[in-house]
Amino acid sequence: MDKKNKTLGEFIIENQSSFQYSSGELSKLINAIRLAAKVVNHEVNKAGLIDILGAAGDTNIQGEDQQKLDVLANEKFIQTLKNREIVCGIASEEEDDFISINSQDEQHQNKYIVLIDPLDGSSNIDVNVSVGTIFSIYRRVTPVGTPVTIEDFLQPGDNQVAAGYIVYGTSTMLVYTTGDGVNGFTLNPAIGTFYLSHPNMQFPETGKIYSVNEGNYIHFPQGVKDYIKYCQQEEGDRPYTSRYIGSLVSDFHRNMIKGGIYMYPKSSKAHEGKLRLLYECNPMAFLAEQANGKASDGKGRIMALKPTELHQRVPFFCGSTKMVEKAEEFIAKANK
């Protein structure tokens, strides 16, 4: 079969043996995420036709207004994962605490937990700009057969067994890794099937795009300001192009294909950074490193950090290796 004609289901089955814990459960879990993604994609595509745009009137644990589609996406992913009885716990950016799941089948011993950002970039929903879903999968560290605890969720990113995202854009794509490279699958909406469209995705070693909210420039640390000025200088292959969508999934996806760096540093307004370590940074860092890129908090590897709380925030620099390393250089120099 032509590689490009391979469906996500076929790809999962064929590559199951490359996963070190191969037992079929992880494949079922990826399939559950695929199903939920198709449901959410359907809702995103008709968002302008029915009453699911705009704020729901509640705020999430982060203190951010929950959009109606945020709530719907959260419910769909949690419901799908629960119904398949494959996971023992779920943590969502939209929930205050983690959810412990007890299997109805006492013989079924679930080993995996999922952390999810159900609808990344939701501030873009009302203006029809690409949004996405980010997911991260770990094996539990507490004994199988017992309820999950916070310890199962506060694992460093290096412990991830799989991670990925779905981007709901002009075409809908599911991109994921199980630690053996990164592959992208595009949804054929006519038949509801994901096909392998982007095999072995890789960040170019360097690029010409920098993605940062420059409206916060005045609040950034000096090292980040210096790096942005470096990106703007006319010298060699610079100036770089500024491209910022405000949806991590979309900015990351573009930069992985074209080469670039995404930055969300700490600032005088957000002292610890804004992005969540467990729901956004760790999964994207896993994908980046598997795609020949790099992810950092400005000092060192994101995936080496030991989380201390479920909704922890960290600075985030991610993308083409040479660009991330150059940003780290400017930050280190300014901190001397």
Please count the other Cβ atoms lying within 10 Å of the Cβ belonging to residue 114.
Answer: 25
- With contact defined as beta carbons under 8 Å apart, do 314 and 297 qualify? yes
98 pLDDT more than 80: yes
51 pLDDT more than 80: no
Per-residue confidence (pLDDT) for residue 121, from 0 to 100 = 79
Per-residue confidence (pLDDT) for residue 49, from 0 to 100 = 47
Q: What is the DSSP string of 5-57?
A: G-BHHHHHHHTGGGSTT-SSHHHHHHHHHHHHHHHHHHHHHTTTTTT--SEEE
Mean of pLDDT values over 320-324: 98
**Minimum mean pLDDT range among 8-17, 27-36, 102-111:** 102-111
- In the three-class reduction of DSSP (H, G, I as helix; E, B as strand; rest coil), residue 262 is classed as strand
Per-residue confidence (pLDDT) for residue 331, from 0 to 100 = 98
274 is annotated as contributing to ligand binding: yes
d(CA 243, CA 260): 9
22 is annotated as contributing to ligand binding: no
pLDDT tens digits along 155-202? 999 999 999 999 988 889 999 999 999 999 999 988 989 999 999 999
313 pLDDT more than 50: yes
213 is annotated as contributing to ligand binding: yes
Q: Pick 292 or 103 by higher pLDDT.
A: 292
Distances 206 to 150, 261, 274, 319 between C-alpha atoms, Å:
38, 9, 25, 8
**Minimum mean pLDDT range among 9-18, 34-43, 285-294, 295-304:** 9-18
Q: Where are the domains of the chain?
A: 3-198, 209-335
**Minimum mean pLDDT range among 25-34, 59-68, 287-296, 308-317:** 59-68
Cis peptide leading into 204, omega within 30 of 0?
no
Q: Which candidate, 306, 304, 310, places its Cα nearest to that of 62?
A: 310
269 is annotated as contributing to ligand binding: no
158 is annotated as contributing to ligand binding: no
- With contact defined as beta carbons under 8 Å apart, do 155 and 59 qualify? no
Instruction: Indicate the CATH number for domain 3-198.
Output: 3.30.540.10
Structure tokens at 221: 């640390």
Fold (topology level) of 209-335: D-Maltodextrin-Binding Protein; domain 2 (3.40.190)
244 is annotated as contributing to ligand binding: yes
Helical (H) or strand (E) element with 103: none
Mean pLDDT computed over every residue of the chain: 89
